[in-house]
Amino acid sequence: MAGAGVKILNKRIRSVGNTQKITKAMKMVAASKLQRSQGKMLAARPYSHKLTELMQQLAGKADISDPLFEVRPVKRRLFIVITSDKGLCGSYNVNVIKLAQKAVDESIAEGVETEIYAIGRKVAKHFRKREYKVFEAHEEFGGSVTSDEGRMVGNNAVDAFLAGTFDEVKVIYSSFVSTMTQRPVDVPLLPIAPEAPEAAEGEEAAGPDYIWEPSQEAMFAVLLPLYLRNRVFMTLAEAFTSEHAARMTSMSAATQNAGEMIEALTLQRNRERQAAITSELLDIVGGANAL
């Protein structure tokens, strides 16, 4: 019996060891993807901040109107929800889908016709299974985004808003705070409502006075689509960076737990083996005394 117990424990130790190798490899892959994704996101931030500053200056100083700034009574709302295509990333998908489910249900309860623009296989599967209206779905991004993909998502949202298909577009995704912390957020995308630029010490609240060439209106027409596409791209980049961080953290914890389990099973196996040896010795001694 004891020998059989040792064999079973050896089998379990090998099984957990194989799982540990897999989780360790996944952790290393996630760490590599995180470094690449975070680098892309951080490299794009200065451009994004300057573009936002210019848009705030134009929207705040120029007498300019655009359909993308038009605030309409909300009768139809679109939620762009970003999750991963794959699992094994801890509570990343669960937290985003939980927030999205709450927001969608509240929107429907308000009497607003609501649809979901699903980015990621997990969110698409979740809302399709529950028979919610899915406006469009992308399940092939694979945890990374290109400028073309960001432009495609942005154009789809803009076209639907301008056509009057939706009166409001919001984005739900996981904001990247740090490698250990990702926070699901619900932010408006359309209509665009640029905030006033924050005043730096010694500056007026309106910010520096720019000279626009050829004109503010011409610059606005060029910068507006760039600004919107950049917002969508940065949102996708941040969401996928959060995904890789969550997966790396999850696989790191799984690898550590597997190591602790192997230690516990090894200790139990050694005790079983020691008990078996002790039992055999007692049998031998007992047999010798009987002779």
Domains (ranges, CATH) in the chain?
A: 65-198+209-246 (3.40.1380.10)
pLDDT score recorded for residue 68:
87
Supply angle C-alpha 198, 200, 206, rounded to 5: 55
Whether 15 has a pLDDT exceeding 50, the answer reads yes
Task: Tell me the average pLDDT across 206-230.
Answer: 77
What digits encode the pLDDT tens for the residues 134-167?
Answer: 999 999 888 888 888 999 999 999 999 999 999 9
- Tell me the DSSP string of the chain: -HHHHHHHHHHHHHHHHHHHHHHHHHHHHHHHHHHHHHHHHHHHHHHHHHHHHHHHHHHHHS----GGG-----SEEEEEEE--SS--STTHHHHHHHHHHHHHHHHHHTT-EEEEEEESHHHHHHHHHTT--EEEEE---TT---HHHHHHHHHHHHHHHHTTS-SEEEEEEEEE--SS-EEEEEEEEES--PPPPPPPTTS-TT---PPPSS-HHHHHHHHHHHHHHHHHHHHHHHHHHHHHHHHHHHHHHHHHHHHHHHHHHHHHHHHHHHHHHHHHHHHHHHHHHH-
Q: Which pLDDT belongs to residue 199?
A: 41
Where in the sequence numbering do the catalytic residues fall?
Answer: 89
**Distance (Å, whole) CA 62 – CA 51:** 16
Query: Do the beta carbons of residue 175 and residue 242 sit within 8 Å?
Result: yes
Tens digit of pLDDT for each residue in 97-114?
999 999 999 999 999 999
pTM (predicted TM-score) = 0.84
Give the HSE-up count for residue 93: Cα atoms under 13 Å, Cβ half-sphere: 21
Going by pLDDT thresholds of 50, 70 and 90, the confidence category of residue 194 is: low
For residue 22, the one-letter residue type is I
pLDDT above 80: residue 25: yes
